[in-house]
Chain A
Amino acid sequence: DGGITQSPKYLFRKEGQNVTLSCEQNLNHDAMYWYRQDPGQGLRLIYYSQIVNDFQKGDIAEGYSVSREKKESFPLTVTSAQKNPTAFYLCASSEGQGVGEQYFGPGTRLTVT
């Protein structure tokens, strides 16, 4: 299960608090992605980054923010502006944007009460 890691596996927060999810990869991949997965639904793209210091909004970016200061790291912050933050969050990486296989991390299950 090496290559791309996410921490923590489970995260609990009170409503109104910002929370940051970690994603690290040692695959030397240029592109990284954040997806949200809700029960019975597919993977919806939140943000993606093709290179360091650059990132783009995906389909559901409202209420989320990211940074890409290092090639290996792509943390996601779920802000208090996200109306329904409880979900399973998956990070992924690939050699380049849209190129070849996306390797997924193990995911973080966030519960906000």
Chain B
Amino acid sequence: GENVEQHPSTLSVQEGDSAVIKCTYSDSASNYFPWYKQELGKRPQLIIDIRSNVGEKKDQRIAVTLNKTAKHFSLHITETQPEDSAVYFCAATLIWGQNFVFGPGTRLSVLP
């Protein structure tokens, strides 16, 4: 089955700097890769996703890149703000018929 690894487990950056979180997956058939953000005490919420027919997707300060050959994808946050502090989870799945496999999460702290 699918296995998703995520690094780093914790990340601290200064406000205004960029943050990068990387995930690797094992099943080359996986073709949908969402990223969820979970603020302290709250539910996870989808922030961006990418499908395997696309190499990069951007939404304002957030971008995700996918390297299918190497089986890894990354979340990039630019101009970080204190409200970006949260735990971020990546996941991988086939679009049809399989459940998400989540990475273990990255705790991002943005220092003022």
Given A98-B93, A98-B95, A101-B34, A106:B42 Cβ within 8 A: yes
Number of interchain pairs (Cβ within 8 Å): 51
Assess whether B44 is in contact with A97, with CB atoms less than 8 Å apart: no
Q: Does B61 contact A (CB under 8 A)?
A: no
- Cβ of B102 within 8 Å of any chain A Cβ, yes or no, is yes
Segment at the B interface, from A12-20, A40-48, A76-84: A40-48
Q: Give the interface SS of chain A, mostly helix, strand, loop or mixed.
A: loop
Residues of A within 8 A of B100 (CB): 45, 98, 102
**How many chain B residues have a CB neighbour from A under 8 Å?**
23
> Quick one: closest A residue to B100, CB to CB?
A102
- Indicate whether B112 reaches chain A with its CB closer than 8 angstroms: no
CB distance from B48 to the nearest CB of A (A): 11
The interface residues of chain B lying within 8 Å CB-to-CB of A98 are 32, 93-100
- Do residues A43 and B44 form an inter-chain contact, with CB atoms below 8 A? yes
Do the beta carbons of A90 and B43 come within 8 Å of each other? yes
**CB-based contact A42/B105 at 8 Å:** yes
Compute how far the CA of A82 lies from the CA of B98 in the bound complex, rounded to whole angstroms. Answer: 26
Interface string of B43-66 (1 = CB under 8 A from A): 111100100000000000000000
Task: Give the interface of B toward A (CB within 8 A).
Answer: 6, 9, 32, 34, 42-46, 49, 89, 93-100, 102-105
4 closest Cβ pairs, A-B complex: A104-B43, A42-B104, A43-B102, A42-B102
A-B contact sample (12 more), CB < 8 A, given A42-B104, A99-B95: A33-B99, A40-B9, A41-B105, A42-B105, A43-B44, A43-B102, A96-B96, A98-B94, A98-B96, A99-B96, A101-B46, A104-B43
The residues of A with any CB-CB pair to B shorter than 8 Å are 33, 40-45, 48, 58, 90, 96-102, 104-107
